[in-house]
Structure 1
Amino acid sequence: MSELQNTPPNDAVILINIQKLMRAMDKQSSAQGELRNVLKHLDEKSINTKAASKVAKLLKKQDDDAVEEVIQEMTATLQLLEIAGFKLTKQQKDLFDLTSDDPEAEPVEDKAYREGLLAGRLGEDEAECKHALGTATSNKWLEGFRQGEDERKAVLSMKPAADVIKGDDAGEEQGSEDDDDADAKDALGEV
């Protein structure tokens, strides 16, 4: 019998779940607004938004095979464009002939600097350095990392565009569980 008293009425369960759905929809709307704003900002900076979105997905995956698939697709696209009679410049034809099978083609220190620069720009931790501390390679990685960190700070400190697009809940603070409970009580007519 006590089990029945602790079970909330079905109407309450439905109403509270509808409320949770409304909150999730508000958060989604806000996130979509933020995404539109970032894409608009990229476009204003003349950054190809499709390419940037593709790179963002690849960065999220951290999968070298996925990167290789993208390069193969782009190479095949250029080949098919040429077959279809489109005039490609020498630069376009040579675009994917940038890599070399020679591991000595890029000095290790230069590669370490480039990797550190990327890590700093992406906001990774300095502890991500995979090179032995105190070596010339680790010093170059750290030099690149610090440069990347400085660049990241400079970019993040830039004033955003004046016409920021926001979702429906702009200006609202994120609610806590207590707010959810209070909203649920309001929806049930309780005070």
Structure 2
Amino acid sequence: ILTTLPRYPIPSDILTKQHVVHVQISKLPTDGVGLQLLELNDDFQFVMSELRQYYDEIKKLKPADEKAKRLHQNETFEGCCCLYAHFSENGMREFRRGIITGQSNGLAMVQDADFPWIGLVELRNLYQIPRHLVGIRQTCVYGVFGGFNMKTENERTLWDGICREMCRPGVRNVATFHRSAERIDYSGRK
């Protein structure tokens, strides 16, 4: 398994027990998929409702007040938690929890706290995160499925069918995680 940064606590029995999971992302097996552990679902629902409420509050602010909540481009926020409007699956601007892993020239490299996404975001799109949301544990584990290298058309067809099956509504996916993997190489990935 690959756990995303920041490393909020994940269950201590992650490698010794089967887990019911909801599949978040399925593109290629080498890209990995986000597997949301359903036993952490309460945390996830709480985080999303709090972020939605915070987003609604920010939308009501006057421009000057809203600007005060944004991160300043000349300060260093490496390792700090923040909110950002990015990586939305439906193309809408959404607030999520993230960590800045590096920044330069008004751009920040941001790692999503709940999903295995990373990318460059303009600092003017980043906001301070409410303190009570900083410590919520990670709700998604990043996994790579073994046994597929996508070299043959047959394997690609199999993978496509597996993804469709795993993402079908009402399907109960049970995952067994076998080992931790090396740090993810994000070069060339959004």
User: TM-score scaled by structure 2?
Assistant: 0.23
Structure 1 or 2: more strand by fraction: 2
Greater relative CO, 1 or 2 (CA 8 Å, sep 6+) = 2
The structure with more radius of gyration = 1
